[in-house]
Structure 1
């Protein structure tokens, strides 16, 4: 082969490699490589599936019921600067991070359970934004922050179980299991429970507002307290990052439930930046055998030590050792 032919062939190979790399880059960046076409409830379906349940103190109020049609219909974009800077009208919030509207009777009572350890900056942003966001929905809510106060690996699922147990003791019929680094973007994403467990954050900016896989069931989840008890809560065995959400999803299916989602325009969330958690090296093995433990590993096997319960102005703080 002469030098000219060698250069020509080399150039063709170079172009081919460039084309391949370009195709791979485009494929990785395109949103439709994700499970963007998943089943969801449209605006017309939402009020048919919401479960109207409140705590006793709300049910006794002699007020006209709150109307949510405008909130859902308008579905306003809420991730605005003034919602993030400070808590507006903080005198409306009761001790422990509880709120209910005073001019109408809320139709939904929800406990927002946040597992937590060493995320001070994110927590400040979360509390500021969420109180501004949630009060415009005119629901009854209370934020429970469950902090792991020991040196063991972070156990997110167990903290959810602890928070759920305390929320049920406070008569909350609906649980919102909520990571501290996720913030909703639109007002129509009502923080309330549906008949089926609901995956609330199916359009996350981290995944370019698409769903990576249809069985993803984590980040922000709404589930009725009754159902959470029936499926025995979440596993207590997942220490470190990963696996507990997949286990949770399988528990739901095992009890013959299915999940639901609102359409993407309601389910948008943004993720706050943070240092990744240490992965759980045993998550694969635990998932393989998880179905054998659904009935013995969860709420009915939950043990923990509650060190302190503090009633802050913006949240109920539960410090535990697991």
Structure 2
């Protein structure tokens, strides 16, 4: 009897966890929502981004195919920049928001108008998941295998976020106050909404990811307290104050 009740409780939990049918940009209007500004390097090279061809792609893989087939999803014919900030060994716990801010500062200095803030443990499964910015900030990883391909909650922007450089500067990027796991992405959503911006998403067929298995970083026990505080104008609060050095 108890086993049956436990099974029912598990089924109810998973049935009510997250949503498959979240609000998203209709497929037929995605091209109209794209942010078309490009880096001067692309303009000089006369490279054309073939967004329509990417969006028409039906190539996908399943999460269990990732270890052998992920090379098929390497970008070809696309000029972009990748920045991988690393935490100083003096820090015992990584501060993800600060690392994002450091990468963003370098990319913006190099005149990239679109930023993709991307966790390294996520791999896209659908080629039609366009790595480009839209007019509004876009939560790219809305459908992850670890969460049964459902969106856990509508305020989520963690995992992979595409945001225009000018919008990132306007919201002052991520907070530098969240150490370890958790909090910085929910705080980022609050910053986005506080600046009258909306978070948009692509349909599930263009937003699937596989999360690589790894040990989880220590949870930030202070994350709820920090999020509950009124945002203050700390010198160490966001994008503008993130310390870094190039090597």
Where do 1:19-34 residues align within 5 Å?
Answer: 19-30=4-15, 33-34=17-18
Residue 156 (structure 1) aligned to one of 86, 96, 104? 96
Superposition deviation, residue 43 in structure 1? 1.7
Residue 72 (structure 1) aligned to one of 17, 37, 55? 55
Q: Which residue of 2 aligns with 1:118?
A: none
Verify: 1:46 aligned to 2:33, yes or no. no
Q: 1:184 to 1:285 in 2, by over 3 A?
A: same
Superposition deviation, residue 62 in structure 1? 4.2
Superposition deviation, residue 254 in structure 1? 0.6
Gaps of at least 5 residues in structure 2 are none
Partners in 1 of 2:114 and 2:49 — Cα distance?
18
Verify: 1:199 aligned to 2:183, yes or no. no
Q: Which residue of 1 aligns with 2:75?
A: 135
Q: 1:144 to 1:62 in 2, by over 3 A?
A: closer
Q: Which residue of 1 aligns with 2:84?
A: 145
Verify: 1:55 aligned to 2:50, yes or no. no
Question: Which of the two has higher C-alpha Rg?
Answer: 1
Partners in 1 of 2:146 and 2:66 — Cα distance?
21
Gaps of at least 5 residues in structure 1 are 1-14, 87-128, 310-322
Where do 1:244-255 residues align within 5 Å?
Answer: 244-255=184-195
Contact kept, 8 Å, 2:63 with 2:145, in 1: the verdict is: no
**Alignment length (residue pairs):** 246
Q: Which residue of 2 aligns with 1:262?
A: 202
Q: TM-score, normalised by structure 2?
A: 0.90
Cα RMSD (Å) of the superposition?
Answer: 2.4
Partners in 2 of 1:35 and 1:54 — Cα distance?
34
Higher relative contact order (CA 8 A, sep 6+): 2
Structure in which a larger fraction of residues adopt strand: 1
Partners in 2 of 1:83 and 1:219 — Cα distance?
17
Q: TM-score, normalised by structure 1?
A: 0.70
